Structure 1
Amino acid sequence: MALFAGSLQAQELYVFTEPASNMPARSVSIKQSAKWLRNPLLSRTESRHTTELMFGLNRNLMIHAATTFSDMYSTSQRWESVRTYAKYRFYTSDEMYSHFRLAAFAEAAYSRNKSPYDELGLEGDQSGVQFGVIATQLLHKLAISTTVSLTESLQSGRNDKSAANTVPYEAINYSLSAGYLVLPKKYTSYGQTNLNLYLELLGQSSLDKKRYATDLAPAVQLIFNSTVKANLGYRFQLAGNMNRMADRSWLLGVEWTFLNALK
């Protein structure tokens, strides 16, 4: 039964967001990802590369630590940021082929960048903190998840009254994500390759400056031997009035999980 219960959660491994479920207890994951976008002001393609360590401390608590390099705010690739993330699952209701889970999370980031854009992000663009809650429902091969969070940018200039209105410093983030397990049709072993399809609606509305953006992000995911995950996603804007570095981007990532790595 453990094989099937664990395998059915594959469609919760969203590409652009986190589910309320956690990674396996006592496991360690290493994730390497890259984001590419076309900067229309500079007429060039820019990229950000993220290395992330993830620890499943127990069934309810996991933590992340990440660092990024990019050329989005410079003429060449350079180190730009570090961040940490913690998520605690505080409610679980499990059935045979379904479950419902709630989790709370907190994130903090330091970035050397000073972003001139309306969009707030802790993946390298700004220093700041974020707090939020996640609800995830699994129904056999379909997983639906929603997240609501508050981001506070702490980049320099926030306390400068002469510059306070140039960019937002507070924003509400919201997402609605769906994942569907396409393959395998029937689980027989951990060695089977999983194919998951995702569609995520991602939005942000600033609280101190009337700006918003809503994006759609389809993605495909392959999982090999239940321990290696490959993601490919494309994110594009549906509506909004934010001044953004770009309104579309590509994301490619690979993640390796080591089960029972923590004693």
Structure 2
Amino acid sequence: MQKNIFISILLLTVFGQYSNAQELFPLSEAASSIPKNALGIRLFSETYKEVDKIRNMTYLRLMYGVTPRFSVYLTGITSNHHGENFPVEFPFHNTPERGAKYPYKFNGVHLYGKYRFFSRDGENEHLRMAAYAEGTLVKTTHHETEPDLEYGDNTGVGAGLIGTYLKNKFAVSGTFGGILPSENSGDSPDPIDNLPPVPITIQYGKALTYSLSFGYLLLPRKYKDYNQTNVNLYLEFHGKAYQTAKVNLFVGEANEYYLESVRYPPALQGNYFVDMSPGVQFIIRSNLRIDCAATFHMLGTTYARLYPVYCIGIQQYLFFHKKR
């Protein structure tokens, strides 16, 4: 009996500090932070069909509350999005290679830090703001200029701001940030047999990222205890505006051919896009979280994925509190 009372008080304290259920967005970060000394484990998978191939990205993420305001995430990423080398005749052909067979491999790691610098709490409502910074170290030959750090397409760094407002059962959150990808070097196989591959260095486009997310607590209609399952509905909008890539071809030992005047294929040209992602979330016994979402194209152009994209995530928290 005492153990159950202690667990109920702990969950009430932790989740009251952390966030309301409807702002735990499936595909976006809210401005709320993880409680101090809490460890979160998240398994997330994104899948779509490309011609006759199934593309998948899966990551395992560890999340830790360093202080009541500062949280850090460490993510390991795997996917079958790209091959070991650049495509044949890259960058002149219309990249990317749709339907090519790529190995499923470990891409690299992603590090993310978030600091909540503003909180205004009222009765059944709050406003919170946070700043984040991220960095990724990966080894993959990304074929499009559009950079992505969280899902392991590029090595690079990024930063931005998050604002989240909650009122009763409704939550809204917005994110605005930037990505500075690093150069990547690799080989493009020569289309003629027995000829050596062509070394290539590509500078992917810088990007602005933006999102707007809405969440609504559907069930329970009225709280009785913390063992009730929460059901939340979401509608999220995500997008990027990204620059044209810059590609260097190396012909021979000393000759460098900089593709400045050549017209790039569409996947290497700058553009923008906005996606829409409806989703549903289940929070079981106040701790186990299951996210399901689907992403559809709305505006602009992206060559980094095909639609629809199906996402599923499972998340659990472990709490470490020192004994008195």
TM-score by length of 2: 0.74
> Which one of 299, 308, 323 corresponds to residue 239 of structure 1?
299
CA distance in structure 1 between the aligned counterparts of 2:294 and 2:106, rounded to whole angstroms: 24
Is 2:171 the partner of 1:140?
A: no
1:191 partner SS: coil
Q: Contact 1:52 / 1:66 at 8 angstroms: preserved in 2?
A: yes
Task: Work out which of the residue numbers 75, 87, 94 in structure 2 matches 1:66.
Answer: 75
2:145 and 2:243 in contact (8 A); partners too: no
Task: Pick the aligned partner of 1:127 from 155, 171, 175.
Answer: 155
- The 2-side partners of 1:143 and 1:137 are apart by 6
Q: In structure 2, what residue type is equivalent to 1:256?
A: Q
Kindly indicate whether the alpha-carbon contact (under 8 Å) linking 2:18 and 2:35 is maintained by their aligned counterparts in 1: no
Q: Tell me the distance in 1 between the aligned counterparts of 2:306 and 2:26.
A: 19
Measured in 2, the distance between the counterparts of 1:25 and 1:8 equals 13
Give CA deviations for 1:205-240 in whole Å, capped at 9, x if unaligned. 014553111100011100011110001110111011
Question: Residue 228 of structure 1: which of 266, 279, 288 is its match?
Answer: 288
2:233 match: 197
**Counterpart for residue 27 of structure 1:** 38
Deviation at 1:261, TM superposition (A): 5.4
Q: Which runs of 5+ in 1 are unaligned?
A: none
Aligned twin of 1:177: 213
Contact 2:18 2:34 in 1 (8 A): no
After superposition, the CA RMSD in angstroms is 2.4
CA contact (8 A) 1:154 1:169 kept: no
- Equivalent residue for 1:54? 63
1:86 Cα shift?
0.3
Q: Is the 1:26–1:262 Cα contact (8 Å) retained in structure 2?
A: no
Larger radius of gyration: 2
Deviates more, 1:168-177 or 1:94-103: 168-177
Alignment of 1:11 with 2:22, yes or no, is yes
Quote how far apart the aligned CAs of 1:168 are: 4.0
Shift of 1:120: 1.5
TM-score, scaled relative to structure 1: 0.90
In the alignment, the residues of structure 1 paired with residue 203 and residue 290 of structure 2 have an alpha-carbon distance, to the nearest angstrom, of: 35
CA distance in 2, matches of 1:94, 1:190: 21
8 Å CA contact retained: 2:183, 2:204:
no
Contact 1:149 1:172 in 2 (8 A): yes
